[in-house]
């Protein structure tokens, strides 16, 4: 068997086009959506992500600016800035790029962002609503994964879904979303014993660990849908996922590549979230 590739680039283009049309509509009503990104320090990967987010936002007509702060910025200073952005009516979405320097509490900063402007969907209020099955802003990567599954027409009801990784950013919310679609969900993590027992039984396997090519074809159920969230740079500079693509493609029915899979979806869903929040702030949804 050779798996069909789930083309994140193509699907993200479709999402961005939908967002662009929504932005156009909002602008014609005098509501120009705006996303403000805050970047603290000079982490090279974060610089790339932030530039990419800014560029993508502009392309769909979302006004976007990035506030760049030095690594020495204090937690208090960052809290004050976020509060200012919360109060700024021209700002619809706020994103504080992670990771933050060690001396700043990520949790405190996330909790300072107004849940109404929480473009990443990481605020405990929004995560709580997700858990309660209420409509809310959904973290970008998990939302992108669900959109990919929808695009291939995969029916989750009654299927075994296995998520490897339990981060608040990916693992936990994606497990919740899969559950809300009536899949039987298992979350595996670093302390899971006999990982293969679970992966071999997964109709849908979502891998979000951050270990290059850790899941191989032998561990995957024949015909499974494999979603590879990992982004890892190998020593030779090659970008790979958490799944060994070649061996997994022999067994899976559908698979996401790295790069060009989940990554582009994450950015597209950020734009989607910005528009969603803008509409919510104006009582349109
Ligand atoms: P994280 O470090 O917060 O969490 C990793 C999880 O993996 C943990 O829950 C841990 O329990 C689990 N884990 C670690 N070792 C394991 C093992 N041997 N077996 C099973 N589970 C194990 O990571 P994260 O923020 O969720 O990110 C995971 C990966 O996804 C990273 O490579 C990250 O770069 C990537 N990522 C990609 C996107 C994207 O847009 N494509 C977005 C977010 C994260």
Checking if the pLDDT of 139 tops 70, the result is yes
Rounded to 5°, angle at Cα 85 from 26 and 108: 125
Q: Is the pLDDT of residue 146 over 90?
A: yes
CA 160 / ligand 1 centre spacing (Å): 20
For the CA of 209, the nearest atom of ligand 1: 7
| Ligand 1 center from residue 145 Cα (angstroms) | 14
Domain of 148, in residue numbers = 140-263
How far apart are alpha carbons 80 and 85 in whole angstroms? 9
Q: Judge whether residue 222 has pLDDT over 80.
A: yes
Q: Clarify whether residues 213 and 109 are in a common domain.
A: no
Q: How many domains does the chain have?
A: 2
Contacts of 52 (CB under 8 A, 6+ apart): 267
CATH at 98: 3.40.50.10860
Task: Say yes or no: 83 and 149 in one domain.
Answer: no
β-strand pairing of 204-207 with 225-228 = parallel
The verdict on residue 271 lying in a domain is no
Average pLDDT over residues 45-57: 95
pTM flag (> 0.95)? yes
Regarding whether 105 and 151 lie in a shared domain, the answer is: no
- What's the rounded Cα separation, in Å, for the pair 27 and 62? 10
Ligand 1 contacts CB of residue 149 (under 6 A): no
Distances (CA, A) of 49 to 72, 144, 277: 21, 16, 21
Domain presence at residue 281: no
Q: Mean pLDDT, the chain, as a whole number? A: 97
Same domain for 103 and 152: no
Of 75, 96, 113, the domain-final residue: 113
Which positions are annotated as active-site residues?
Answer: 53, 97, 120
pLDDT band at 285 (very low <50, low <70, confident <90, very high): confident
In a domain, 3, yes or no: no
Q: Are residues 87 and 153 in the same domain?
A: no
Nearest partner of 270 among 120, 127, 137, judged by Cα: 120
Answer yes or no: do 96 and 147 share one domain: no
Residues 205 and 145 in one domain: yes
Whether 284 is in a domain gets the answer no
Same domain, 88 and 146: no
Q: Within 10 A of 41 (CB to CB), how many other CB atoms are there? A: 17
């Amino acid at each position: 068997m050779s798996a069909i590739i789930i083309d994140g680039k193509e699907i993200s283009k479709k999402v961005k086009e939908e967002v662009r049309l929504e932005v156009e509509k909002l602008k014609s009503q005098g509501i120009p959506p705006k996303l403000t990104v805050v970047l603290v320090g000079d982490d090279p990967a974060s610089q790339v992500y932030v530039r990419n987010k800014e560029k993508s936002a502009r392309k769909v007509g979302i006004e976007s600016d990035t506030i760049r702060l030095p690594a020495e910025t204090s937690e208090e200073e960052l809290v004050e800035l976020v509060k200012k952005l919360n109060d700024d009516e021209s700002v619809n979405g706020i994103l504080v790029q992670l990771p933050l320097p060690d001396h700043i509490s990520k949790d405190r900063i996330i909790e300072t962002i107004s849940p109404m402007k929480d473009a990443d969907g990481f605020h405990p209020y929004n995560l709580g609503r997700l858990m309660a099955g209420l409509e809310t802003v959904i973290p970008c990567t998990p939302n992108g994964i669900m959109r990919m599954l929808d695009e291939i027409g995969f029916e989750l009801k009654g299927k075994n879904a296995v998520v490897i990784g339990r981060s608040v950013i990916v693992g936990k919310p994606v497990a919740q979303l899969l559950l809300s679609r009536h899949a039987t969900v298992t979350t595996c993590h670093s302390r899971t014993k006999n990982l293969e027992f679970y992966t071999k039984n997964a109709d849908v396997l979502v891998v979000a660990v951050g270990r290059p090519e850790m899941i191989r074809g032998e561990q995957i159920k024949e015909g499974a849908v494999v979603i590879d969230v990992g982004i890892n740079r190998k020593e030779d500079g090659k970008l790979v996922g958490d799944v060994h693509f070649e061996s997994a493609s022999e067994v899976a029915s559908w698979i996401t590549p790295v790069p060009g899979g989940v990554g582009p979806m994450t950015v597209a869903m950020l734009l989607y979230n910005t528009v969603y929040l803008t509409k919510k702030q104006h009582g349109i949804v």
